[in-house]
Amino acid sequence: MTGRALSRFLPAVAILACLALGYAFGLQDYLSLNALADHRDQLQGFVAANFLLAAAAYLGVYALAVAVAFPAASVLTVFGGFLFGWLAGGALTAVAATTGATLLFLAARSTLGPTLRDRAGGSLARFADGFRKDAFSYLLILRLAPIFPFFLVNIAPAFFGVSTRTFVMATLIGILPGTFAYSYLGSGLDSVLVAASEAGTTLSLGDLVTPQITLAFAALAAVAAIPLIVKRVTRHTKT
């Protein structure tokens, strides 16, 4: 294998290395609601005294977590709402999540795209037809209804020729409802964190996400799917 061919795999190696280091240093313990409950006063104080620095740090940590597929995006979104408020937190999260997702998408495209695009199997193969027919609408639906893991939806478009512009726009628009919903949850979390900390109980994201929120995401995805369904039905009728 030539040096040029090896260089294609450097992004994937860097991602795997960062992911392994994250687990080795126990970041999953710090990026949790329990950690937020334990350190809420210190974090709030730091944000109040250093808002711009705290916002920049949040953007960087979030984007890096998404770029290396570290499973902390939902919890970090709640963090953002709690620390910065639902509006500022949601806006910061949308930018950070889109940036991190795009970095992972570009890494996957440069590393494995040419090899796997025509022979993707399993879960990725399910995406192929939809992406090839209407990449923007299909990706938008996948973003609105988080049926598949976020990192998988970041990687899959790289194998099917989706342009970077389409990926960025569909991702940014598609994650906005969920981003602001989770940020809003975080903005009203103070009393819950205090109660959990005083009682010594563990708190998980599942304790916050209600069936109503899940149904709302499904409804948004259904609405987004209507133009795509109409287009397919019209095409089938004409043929």
Distance CA 69, CA 101 (A): 9
Neighbour tally for 62: CB within 10 Å: 25
For 103-125, how does the pLDDT look when each residue is reduced to its tens digit (9 = 90+)?
A: 989 888 877 555 445 444 555 55
Q: Which amino acid is at 26?
A: G
CA-closest candidate to residue 62, choices 126, 163, 150: 150
Instruction: Return the higher-pLDDT residue of 140 and 84.
Output: 84
Q: If you average pLDDT over every residue of the chain, what do you get?
A: 76
Q: pLDDT-derived band of residue 209, with 50, 70 and 90 as boundaries?
A: low
CA distances (Å), 217 to each of 163, 167, 180, in order? 26, 20, 12
Q: Could you report the per-residue pLDDT of 76-106, keeping only the tens digit for each?
A: 998 999 999 989 999 999 999 999 999 989 8
pLDDT at 210: 54
Per mean pLDDT, which range of 43-52, 56-65, 149-158 is the poorest? 149-158
Whole-number Å distance between alpha carbons of 231 and 61: 40
